[in-house]
Amino acid sequence: MGTAARIALIKGDGIGIDVAEAAMQVAEAACSHVNAPALEFDDIHAGAGYFRDTGTDIEPGGEERAGSADAIFLGAIGLPAIRHADGTEISPHLRLRDRYGLYAGIRPVRAYPNAPQRLADPRAAGLDLIILRESTEGLFYSAAAHGRAQVIGDDEVRETLRITRSTTEKLHRFAFRLARKRHERGKRARLTCVDKANVFSSMAFFRKIFDEIAADHPEVEISYNYVDAQALDLVRRPWDFDILVMENMFGDILSDLAGGLVGGMGMAACAEIGDSTGLFQPAHGSAPDIMGQDKANPLAAILSAALMLDYLSEKTGNSSYAEAGLAIDLAVDAGFAANALRPMEFGGDMGTHAVTNAVLKHLGG
């Protein structure tokens, strides 16, 4: 079977604990189902609750242990009442992104049968696209370790938007590899560069690098869209898009918009990939008001676990991890098709444990 993969597990705050435990339960069952190597977990304490209790946002040595693992899985971090003195959230996650160069943020957007769909057009039932968000630069550069805002008295604040050639080249190369992988799996794979190149020099630079990388991949169909037009098109005709690559802040906004088209943040899986490691998490918040009440929808975390297993397949060279990830995807699809997944988030009658058990039941096909 091979050597077990080691997962740095940061459950975090609120429902992050609930959904992380559910996701790892499903991931372990999927590995067992396809005879993939077991997963080993290194629990790392971090988050707003840990900050409240200790004055630090991650346990000593936690960042180093996270980076040395085969992958990082994060439940959710943040509590509304616990902030830094300047009002910003407790966010060791942003520091992990920066430290380990997790530049490629993957946000799948997929419609499932019997899950809520916000668009009446029947084509919305077939939505299956990916938002690829650069995750270390852009406007979020100021929120990470390097930048910080320039505060001028009580009259002005300036944030730095940063686009570098080295990171942007890696992002666009990743985008074209993702298009090839999607095509190999029998899916349409047009790649769209989303920017504001008509106004900002930084965005014109972003597009320029996209064109340079595109020249090496003539087999991939490409297109362009300004971010404001893309927001409109995600409501008007999202089925026309396959992979959208964009700057950090644009991706932060459009991925939530797109997630709303297929049920909400409870379905919003996320992967953040760098050169040496990857971090996987549901993209929703910690919802501390329902923590421990068996009400959270664990599907975003479970689908993030599937992304993690697919990543482990490439990182370890063991294809059985990819089989385990696919088994999770198929189980979720089968569960929705059978109307056996009815999360409370969608007005259904199933809490965290019931949804998790339903996915486990469908792992066997």
Average pLDDT, the chain: 94
**Catalytic, out of 13, 70, 195, 252:** 252
Tens-place pLDDT, residues 297-321: 999 999 999 999 999 999 999 999 9
Contact 272, 278 (CB under 8 A): yes
**Annotation marks residue 256 as catalytic:** yes
Would the pLDDT of 332 be above 80? yes
pLDDT of 91: 84
DSSP-derived pairing of the beta strands 243-246 and 191-195: parallel
**Annotation marks residue 86 as catalytic:** no
pLDDT of 48: 94
Would the pLDDT of 337 be above 60? yes
Split into its structural domains, the chain has a count of: 2
Residues 58, 124 within the same domain: no
**Annotation marks residue 224 as catalytic:** no
**Catalytic, out of 13, 70, 98, 196:** 196
Would the pLDDT of 365 be above 60? no
Strand partners, 152: 156
pLDDT of 143: 67
Cα separation, 360 vs 337, in Å, equals 15
Q: Which domain holds residue 314?
A: 1-103+265-365
Residues 279, 308 within the same domain: yes
108 assigned to some structural domain: no
Q: For 336, which DSSP code?
A: H
**Annotation marks residue 275 as catalytic:** no
**Annotation marks residue 170 as catalytic:** no
Residues 210, 330 within the same domain: no
109 assigned to some structural domain: no
Show which of 261, 284, 304 is a domain's final residue. 261
Q: Is the dihedral of CA 2, 39, 297, 48 positive or negative?
A: negative
Residues 236, 313 within the same domain: no
Which residue in 297, 328, 275 sits closest to 99, CA to CA? 275
Cα separation, 184 vs 175, in Å, equals 14
DSSP-derived pairing of the beta strands 150-152 and 156-158: antiparallel
Domain CATH code at residue 82: 3.40.718.10
pTM score, two decimals?
A: 0.93
Q: Which H or E run includes 128?
A: strand 128-134
List the structure tokens of 15.
């429902």
**Catalytic, out of 112, 141, 311, 321:** 141
Residues 123, 79 within the same domain: no
Residues 295, 313 within the same domain: yes
Tens-place pLDDT, residues 204-243: 999 999 999 999 999 999 999 999 999 999 999 999 999 9
Cα separation, 141 vs 148, in Å, equals 8
Tens-place pLDDT, residues 37-51: 999 999 999 999 999
Place of tokens 């299956």: 128
pLDDT of 159: 84
**Catalytic, out of 42, 233, 256, 333:** 256
Would the pLDDT of 88 be above 90? no
Would the pLDDT of 144 be above 70? no
* CB atoms closer than 10 angstroms to residue 108: 22
pLDDT of 269: 95
Q: What is the mean pLDDT of residues 112-117?
A: 90
**Catalytic, out of 216, 228, 289, 294:** 228
**pLDDT-above-70 percentage for the chain:** 98
pLDDT of 118: 86
Residues 121, 229 within the same domain: yes
- What lies within 8 Å, CB to CB, of 160 at 6+ separation is 141, 142, 147, 150
